[in-house]
Amino acid sequence: MHQSPPLTPEELNDLFQQACKDHQQGHLAEAKSGYMTLLEYVDAPLLHYNMGLVHFELHDFQDALSSFAKAHAGNPFDSDTLFNLALCQRECGLFDDACTSYHKLIDIEPDHVDAIYNLASCYRATRQDEMAINQYRQLLQQQPEHQSALSNLAYMYQLTGDTENAIRYYRRLLELDPERESARHMLAALLGDTFDAPSESYVRDLFDSYSDHYEQSLVVNLEYHVPLSLREVLVNLPDCPQHFNEGIDLGCGTGLSGESFRDIVEHLDGVDLSAKMIAIAEKKNIYRDLYVDNIATALTRIDRQYDFVLAADVFGYLGDLAPIIMEVSGKTEPDTIFCGSIEAGDIAPFNLQPSGRIAHSPEYFLELVKKHGWSVLQFSPTQLRRERDGWIKGFIWILQKQKEGNAISVKN
């Protein structure tokens, strides 16, 4: 506690009122300074709580967590403090701690819908599937028309192989919102309906909602390693360029793939439909320019030529690949390296899988890239990621833009 100079209760109150006013007006630096000064005199849970709000608004989640933890210690039954503490724990990747905080909050307020929903989301992010399903079902007992809970419950049933219940809840969701693209897409996948390609809004919404736990889910839970596999193959290819001047990462997401190649690409750009994924990628400082757009449109608008193109785990959300391959061909010079992955399909040219992703037949892909002037340096079967008790099978590939008259060669 601060010993000097002393402040009268009136002066402390004036300082508190000014800090609150600064906070309400969005003057976060001034509010932070005011609360810090007050905390030198008064160790009050409310001040720690307000400081936590400031840190949270500044996206300083670790400091926000510390402040909310102190506020909770001084006022353990305050539901707002517990809720915000859990939010910060999740932002910091402390999912078990977040679950504990949400459970404490639900013990205090059993009908706290947001806490139940967020608890289910934490279980979903850490692949505690049955726990997530139970929480979504509990929420729907209170609010049967909660569309986000319906959507996530349907998806969890789909993920765990309970097709009957997945179809049931997707249909219920479409009764409430007939224009909901994600539900229509997933229902089509489960029913085996034909289609051309998923809508942009479906893909955008999917990855916007997935962004905060994308890397945790993909790398830790699903053991996804395609970028590292591509890098390993590339560096071991004889007579293949190992350094590039201008590169672009198609469907860059959070920058997971770009990180594996950044040290060999002088200037790397990225494009993705999801603004939330792009926002995470931007913080990594691995991209020169980032574009929130679909791939074909972005390539049309970008006034650059590339000598390296990356497309890892993106074609699973596209149907006909011809427009993309054509645009890539138009933005590249001979000897350009183009590498990526496809999910293996048995039906030509491509088909919608029960997972909601698209699989392409290898024959279709190889014929397409050959048509647009690419030599196949490597086309190897691989396990792309885990799904339930098995693996998703696919191919990783490395192509090189042909000089006129060169022949196609395939290495497996």
Supply the pLDDT for residue 234: 96
Which distant-in-sequence residues (6+ apart) come within 8 Å of 110 by Cβ?
none
Supply the pLDDT for residue 3: 55
304 vs 405, more confident: 304
Burial class (CB in 10 A: 0-12, 13-18, 19+), 151: buried
Q: How confident is the model at residue 195 (pLDDT cuts 50, 70, 90)?
A: low
CA within 13 Å, CB half, 181: 11
pLDDT exceeds 60 at position 359: yes
% of the chain exceeding 90 in pLDDT: 78
Q: How confident is the model at residue 13 (pLDDT cuts 50, 70, 90)?
A: very high
> By three-state DSSP, how is residue 311 classified?
strand
Q: Which of 199-213, 245-259, 262-276 has the lowest mean pLDDT?
A: 199-213
State which of 6-10, 170-174, 347-351 shows the largest mean pLDDT.
170-174
Quote the CA–CA distance of 85 and 76 in Å, as a whole number.
11
Q: Tell me the average pLDDT across 316-325.
A: 94
Supply the pLDDT for residue 36: 94
Give domain limits for the chain: 9-191, 212-401
Q: For the chain, what is the mean pLDDT? A: 92
Q: How confident is the model at residue 273 (pLDDT cuts 50, 70, 90)?
A: very high
Q: How confident is the model at residue 194 (pLDDT cuts 50, 70, 90)?
A: low
% of the chain exceeding 70 in pLDDT: 96
175 vs 213, more confident: 175
Quote the CA–CA distance of 302 and 207 in Å, as a whole number.
23
Domain 212-401 has CATH 3.40.50.150: yes
Classify domain 9-191 at the CATH topology level. 1.25.40
pLDDT exceeds 90 at position 296: yes
pLDDT exceeds 50 at position 405: no
Supply the pLDDT for residue 407: 43
Supply the pLDDT for residue 222: 77
